[in-house]
Each structure stands twice: as structure tokens, then as C-alpha cells.
Structure 1
């Protein structure tokens, strides 16, 4: 496909690795200052038809939005993502497609303690595996999204 102004093919941009892309997108989702920013980050990360599961149960795309918003301690955010392990396997040299897996935890969650009912800080521990695919053949921009997501997560009171 040629550029209509100068008749040349668009330049392919250099993309970040799948791991860098994943870390940036998870931070954008969970560390967003506003709910609007969090929802935009989710839309930038997942297509509407993402195939997802949470702890073995199907997770429709609309529930991803709701789960993220419920986790937020307030309208101005306050969550922080901490990566512990990650593995990536690109399917191509340009990192447009591939798989990524990792373990991270999220701090800043506040919810009732299961024994006392008192609102206390919690930590969410998550293991994720994802399939990342480019949504466009156009190499002049980054069109990657997570098309498949499997995650296992559990919350524990912070000590």
C-alpha cells in the first residue's frame, strides 16, 4: 500500500517487546488516575471479542471493565502493579504477534477483611498468559491487542 502524498510505502515502526508492551498496558489499566483513563486503557488492550477466563470461568469483555473498576480504591486511582516474573515468545522478529506470561501483584486494593469486616489493604496476586496479535496489516503503527487471556488471581490481606 503506497502513501498517497509521496507514493512510498509507509515505514514499519519499531515495536517494544511483548513483555514491555504487556507491562505498559497493565500499568495503564490498573494505575490509571481516572476511571475514564482505565476504561480507555482496557479498550486499547483488549478487543471486544477477547477470549478470556478468570480462575477457570469464562470472562466476557464487559466484565473486565467492571472488575477493574471494582478494584480501584477510589475515583482517583491508587493501584500499583509489581511484576515478579515474565516470559515472552514472539512469533515474528517485529514482536507483532506472540505469547506472554507472567506473575505480578497489585497493591492499593481496599476491601473488607473476611474475619473482621474492617476495610483493610489487600494484595491481588495474578498469574497471566496471553496471546497478543496485531489487529492490522499496516506496519506504520502498533495495533497489538490481547486476543486471548487466562488469568488466575487471588486476594490476600496485606500484612
Structure 2
């Protein structure tokens, strides 16, 4: 995972992550369904052209879904630096969203629907709106890292509560 934006002077990367591996469950399901649909289409095509073409179309759609989820996962990363939170998306066309730590008003961690591996959806509140980070691994710990970095930037010593996970 590479940090694409350049760092500001005296800025360091604290931690980087990407969506949890459970985000790839949809891609795995799509690949399985694509293989099943292609197998069905190859078997039924000699008997029924309509269902054969329908099966191949379903296989293409499921394959596209699987690849799109995989590309989304591979192209998404979240970096926490000593001055900002950066979300990078895209493999070919890079898109970056940055929120200075001084602007962050709060972080809310909600566990993902499957609750596997400790992933969580984080909502980062700032004056420009809300930045939602989906399926962040160890989401509660990452939200505490954001708060700790913000407190260090603003010159406040972290309290004992912030050191617990």
C-alpha cells in the first residue's frame, strides 16, 4: 500500500489500512455465481439457446460484479498522519479526500453487519460534512488512533480513557 499524496513538512504517517478482507465476500460470491452460471449455460446451451444466452449474460454480470468489488478493495486505502486523515480511492483514476485533524469534531464507530474480524464503519464528523469509512479493520482501535493523533496535534495530553481499546 503506497501513500500517494505528498506529506507536508514535519508530517508523518501514523497508520495506513484498507477495507477489511470481509469486504471481499461479495467478490467471492460473485465469482462463485459467475462460475455456476457459466457452467449452467454451457450445459443448457445445446438444448435451449435462450436459457444458454441468459446463463452467459448472468455469468458476465456476476463476473463484472466480482471484479468491481475486488478493484474497489485494492484501490481503497485510509491513512492517518500527524496532521490529517486521508482516504485514497482508485487504481487508475486516483481520488483523494483529506480532512485536517483539527477540523474533526467527532468519530463514531458502528460495527459492520457481519461483525467479523472486528471491522467497523467509521463516521468522521467535520465542518464540511461526514466522511464515512466502510469496513475498517479494528475500527474501534482506529477511531481511538484518530482521537489520540488529534489530541496530540492540538496539544492536549491524551486521557487514560483514550489509551484503552
Q: TM-score range by the shorter chain?
A: under 0.3
- Structure richer in helix, relative to its length: 2
Give the number of the structure with larger relative contact order, counting CA–CA contacts within 8 Å between residues 6 or more apart. 1
Q: Which has the larger radius of gyration?
A: 2
Q: TM-score, normalised by structure 1?
A: 0.25
- Structure richer in strand, relative to its length: 1
Q: TM-score, normalised by structure 2?
A: 0.25
